[in-house]
């Protein structure tokens, strides 16, 4: 790591801390993620999901992993540096985004996600904090700590992603969910870009399902039979809610945008579009 000087801490997560650094050779700014646990061999490092997925992914809207360094049993990821994340960008705004900016942000998120899915991965933790940006003009998907290969075999762990962006099938403890969970999260993020407030700010997993029901209405059994089977298996009783008009909740969105959010926020994962099917 003597090829980099470190400047300041950018963040601290469950698995590691992130520092801002500079390449001594090129002067380029980088973000250096130092993993908390120790790694005693290269094989151990190469098995990490983050390494496996990011080494294969090279796209303008996916954060670039520049190199992986193991030194004194510590593992470091060196990424391209981005100024902030989408959560910070939204938090610091004192007025709503124009729809043209939201279109541009959404286009980039969907391009990056289409590329990730096409290469056989799904992200599992799409949320504003994991979308790095240089203002609203450039967005890149980051943090592949939870990414899975689409072809890897279920069952998967039930705990993935931040609660507010978690798809209903995950909240209901499905073990064979797949890439549509990312599209649900993108639908939530899109709504938040319009209002600067989370769409489903649940205080627990059960409250999260209630919050979704209050907006989308209780699902019908014939619309999503698998969801009813999952609910029965965990003794969950559906609240009886009528759907809210998304246009009332998000008045500054065009009818085209409202339709796209409705499509991405389908209860049944099979009915959600793939990122490459969406045009906005």
Active site residues: 125
6 contacts: CB under 8 Å, gap ≥ 6: 19, 20, 21, 32
What is the Cα–Cα distance from 143 to 156, expressed in whole angstroms? Answer: 19
- What are phi and psi for residue 129, nearest 5 degrees? -65, -25
- What is the CB-side half-sphere exposure of residue 38 using CA atoms within 13 A? 4
Report whether 34 belongs to an annotated binding site.
Answer: yes
Three state DSSP letters for 7-40: EEEEEECCCEEEEEEEECCCCCEEEEEEECCCCC
- Nearest CA-CA partner of 69 in 27, 16, 32: 32
Contact 206, 191 (CB under 8 A): no
Binding-site residues for ATP: 34
Binding-site residues: 34
């Amino acid at each position: 790591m003597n090829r980099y000087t470190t400047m300041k801490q950018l963040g601290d997560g469950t698995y590691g801390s992130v520092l801002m650094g500079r390449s001594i050779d090129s002067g380029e700014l980088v973000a250096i993620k130092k993993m908390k646990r120790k790694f005693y061999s290269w094989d151990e490092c190469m098995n990490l999901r983050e390494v496996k997925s990011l080494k294969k992914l090279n796209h303008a809207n996916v954060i670039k992993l520049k190199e992986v360094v193991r030194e004194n049993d510590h593992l470091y990821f060196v990424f391209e540096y981005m100024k902030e994340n989408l959560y910070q960008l939204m938090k610091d705004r004192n007025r709503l985004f124009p729809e043209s900016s939201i279109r541009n942000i959404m286009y980039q998120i969907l391009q990056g996600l289409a590329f990730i899915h096409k290469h056989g991965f799904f992200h599992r933790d799409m949320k504003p904090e994991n979308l790095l940006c240089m203002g609203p003009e450039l967005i890149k998907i980051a943090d592949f700590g939870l990414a899975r290969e689409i072809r890897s075999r279920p069952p998967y762990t039930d705990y993935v992603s931040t609660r507010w962006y978690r798809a209903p099938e995950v909240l209901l403890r499905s073990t064979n969910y797949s890439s549509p969970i990312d599209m649900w999260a993108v639908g939530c993020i899109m709504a938040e870009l319009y209002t600067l407030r989370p769409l489903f700010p649940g205080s627990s997993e059960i409250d999260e399902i209630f919050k979704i029901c209050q907006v989308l209405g209780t699902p019908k059994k014939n619309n999503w039979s698998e969801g009813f089977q999952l609910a029965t298996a965990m003794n969950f009783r559906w609240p009886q809610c009528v759907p809210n008009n998304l246009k009332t909740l998000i008045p500054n969105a065009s009818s085209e945008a409202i339709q796209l959010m409705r499509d991405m926020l389908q209860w049944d994962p099979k009915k959600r579009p793939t990122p490459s099917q969406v045009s906005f």
